[in-house]
């Protein structure tokens, strides 16, 4: 939404990513189940899939178990350790903490049809019509919860995530012949993170 309650564009005419949609989804989960959304995720996804290193930590700011530290570069050039961070600030938009191993297990289960009926899974891999563009004019790249990128003729589907000091992504081709989960530690939140992701995609698809 923009000022004065007017919509940014007519629904269905353009596409724009907004994390608040995941907050709304978490609210919907709680309304329908009567339970905290993190508890529902644990019961329905994390435990059945054996994702023992994934959690919704709430107001616990610490990363438990082996982990790398995240840093943010300050205006004076120094690096501030920001490993401890209250993930609940992002709530349903990005409160979950995981490992590359657990993300790979989740991605495999999702793409293999273990989590959703075929019709719902197909919606995740379906883009809007060609005349629907991102608000910046580039082609639409989001299905129902997944985003896509094509490099060197290879099309990946997946999802990225970030917070200060950390960035990650999990991607795979539809046939899962190529699948990757990676994490890196940027010291800035700017376009350089996308550049790193694209360099990794280039390496994954280089002939």
Q: What is the pLDDT of residue 24?
A: 95
Tell me which long-range contacts 191-198 makes (C-beta under 8 A, separation of at least 24).
Answer: 193/162, 193/167, 196/167, 197/160, 197/167, 197/169, 198/149, 198/151
Total domains in the chain come to 1
Mean pLDDT by 10 residues, the chain (207 residues): 70 92 95 96 96 92 92 95 91 92 96 96 95 94 94 94 92 95 91 85 88
**Is the whole-model pTM more than 0.85?**
yes
19: CB partners within 8 A, 6+ apart: 90, 93, 94
CATH number reported for the structural domain that contains residue 50 in this entry: 3.40.710.10
Q: What is the pLDDT of residue 4?
A: 60
- In total, the chain counts a number of residues equal to 207
Instruction: Quote the domain boundaries for residue 41.
Output: 3-205
User: What gap in Å lies between CA 199 and CA 202, rounded to an integer?
Assistant: 5
Q: What is the pLDDT of residue 87?
A: 85
């Amino acid at each position: 939404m923009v000022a004065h309650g007017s919509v940014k564009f007519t629904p269905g005419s353009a596409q724009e990513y907004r994390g608040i949609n995941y907050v709304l989804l978490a609210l919907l989960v709680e309304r329908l189940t009567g339970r905290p959304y993190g508890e529902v995720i644990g019961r329905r996804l994390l435990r059945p899939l054996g994702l023992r290193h994934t959690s919704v930590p709430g107001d616990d700011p610490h990363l438990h178990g082996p982990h790398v530290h995240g840093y943010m570069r300050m205006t004076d050039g120094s690096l501030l350790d920001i490993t401890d961070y209250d993930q609940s600030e992002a709530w349903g938009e990005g409160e979950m903490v995981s490992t590359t191993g657990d993300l790979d297990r989740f991605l495999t289960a999702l793409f293999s049809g273990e989590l959703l009926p075929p019709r719902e899974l197909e919606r995740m891999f379906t883009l809007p019509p060609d005349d629907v563009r991102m608000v910046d004019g580039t082609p639409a790249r989001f299905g129902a919860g997944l985003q896509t990128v094509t490099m060197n003729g290879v099309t990946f589907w997946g999802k990225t995530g970030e917070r200060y000091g950390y960035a990650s992504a999990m991607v795979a081709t539809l046939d899962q012949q190529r699948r990757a989960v990676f994490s890196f530690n940027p010291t800035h939140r700017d376009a350089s993170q996308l550049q790193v992701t694209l360099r990794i995609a280039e390496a994954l698809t280089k002939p």
